[in-house]
Amino acid sequence: MEMQYRRLGRAGIKVSVLSFGSWLTFGSQQEIARSIECMGAAHEAGINFFDNAEVYAAGKAETVMGQAIRELGWPRHSYLVSTKYFWGIHRDTPNAFLTLNRKYLMESIDKSLERLQLDHVDLVYCHRPDPETPIEETVWAMSDIVASGRALYWGTSEWSADEIRAAWLIAEQHHLRKPVVEQPEYNLFNRSKVEKEFSRLYDDIGLGLTTWSPLASGLLTGKYADGIPEGSRGESVEWLREMLTDRDANAKVEDLKLVADEIGCTPAQLAVAWTASNPNVSSVILGASRVEQLQENLKALEVMGQLTEAHKARIDTIFA
């Protein structure tokens, strides 16, 4: 099945319904050559959106992505790149760590562009809300970054509906560039924000979504039913282990596997297809450390065409 493309909310650009992210892979667990190979395979499959963040591997993920784009020689019109700010990579200063103040944002975008070897990013996100910086200051800074041409659109990640609406109204009041996209976690174990909390924002402000962790950090693959496999994410990321080995959660994944078997796909492919089937989701961000893993997950495009309302109802029952 060919790649699908969706409008990013009410924004004019279209993003591939499946996209490719660099969290926990680029610049840390992966060799550069493998990262470049994965990006090449993703682009060849029709993926046009590549997600990043300043904090991923302390800037190294942006460096690797920039090197990949340069080596692969893609024309600039054929892809979209994002980055995100909040966590910072300079923890020895109060003005560039866990913040969305104007100084940090205006300086960070320039450093990201250097690492990515680009003159602009397509999307820039506020990676988390900052309760210590007035939202007005953050909105003005993000709007100015877009106005300067260093980014084309801006949005938020893991903000509440009230915070997003507040930012949008400030931009509306002062005729500034408005936030157009939110990047929340969304999967079968984490649904309420996308399906309930944000429900009015889709029509009210035209919010688009680029969602992350469709496999719940690998839990929905089913590979953690018998513990932590060697070489898995659960082995290398200690804070994920308790979630990945939860007995009740893994029992639900086993039930999901029965539905996947009927369709003729893997639980992972079904989980990705289910996430992408939400019409309010513009793009589902995939992560992969090997081309084979990426290609397996891309088969979710075929599963989307086979996923019926009856299947969704059974899945809802399992994860109620």
CATH code of 15's domain: 3.20.20.100
Summarize pLDDT for 267-320 with one digit per residue, the tens.
Answer: 999 999 999 999 999 999 999 989 999 999 999 999 999 999 999 999 999 998
257 in any annotated domain: no
Q: What is the chain's percent helix, strand, coil content, to nearest 5?
A: 50, 15, 40
Q: How many CB atoms lie within 10 A of CB 141?
A: 21
Beta bridge partners of 15: 6
Alpha helices (H) along 178-246: 192, 201-204, 233-236, 241-244
Quick one: pLDDT at residue 236? 55
Helices and strands (DSSP H and E) totals, the chain: 14, 10
Distance, CA of 168 to CA of 180 (rounded, Å): 9
Least confident of 127-141, 165-179, 188-202, 238-252: 238-252
Give percent of the chain above pLDDT 70.
93
Q: How many CA atoms within 13 Å lie on the side-chain side of 304?
A: 19
- Please say whether the beta carbons of 151 and 121 come within 8 A: yes
When the pLDDT of each residue in the chain is averaged and rounded to a whole number, the result is 94
200 in any annotated domain: yes
Active site residues: 56
Structure token pair of residue 273: 């297809």
Q: What angle do CA 79, 160, 14 make, to 5 degrees?
A: 20
Amino acid residing at 291: V
Does pLDDT of 50 surpass 90? yes
- Please say whether the beta carbons of 218 and 246 come within 8 A: no
- Determine the average pLDDT of the residues in 9-33: 84
Quick one: pLDDT at residue 239? 63
Summarize pLDDT for 248-271 with one digit per residue, the tens.
Answer: 999 999 999 999 999 999 999 999
Return the C-alpha torsion angle 225, 185, 65, 108, nearest 10.
-140
127 in any annotated domain: yes
Of how many residues is the chain composed? 320
- What is the DSSP annotation of 84-138? EESS-S-TTSTTSSS---HHHHHHHHHHHHHHHT-S-EEEEEE-S--TTS-HHHH
Summarize pLDDT for 219-253 with one digit per residue, the tens.
Answer: 999 887 766 766 565 555 666 777 888 899 999 99
Using alpha carbons, select from 287, 299, 280, 306 the residue that is nearest to residue 38. Answer: 287
255 in any annotated domain: no
235 in any annotated domain: no
Quick one: pLDDT at residue 237? 63
Domain that holds residue 87: 5-215+279-304
Does pLDDT of 57 surpass 70? yes
Quick one: pLDDT at residue 257? 97
Amino acid residing at 49: F
Does pLDDT of 60 surpass 80? yes
232 in any annotated domain: no
241 in any annotated domain: no
Amino acid residing at 12: G
Domains identified in the chain, total number: 1
Quick one: pLDDT at residue 226? 67
274 in any annotated domain: no
The kind and range of the H/E element at 262 are helix 247-263
Quick one: pLDDT at residue 30? 55
- Please say whether the beta carbons of 159 and 129 come within 8 A: yes
Task: Give the dihedral sign, CA 189/190/196/198.
Answer: negative
Higher pLDDT among residues 192 and 35, named by residue: 192
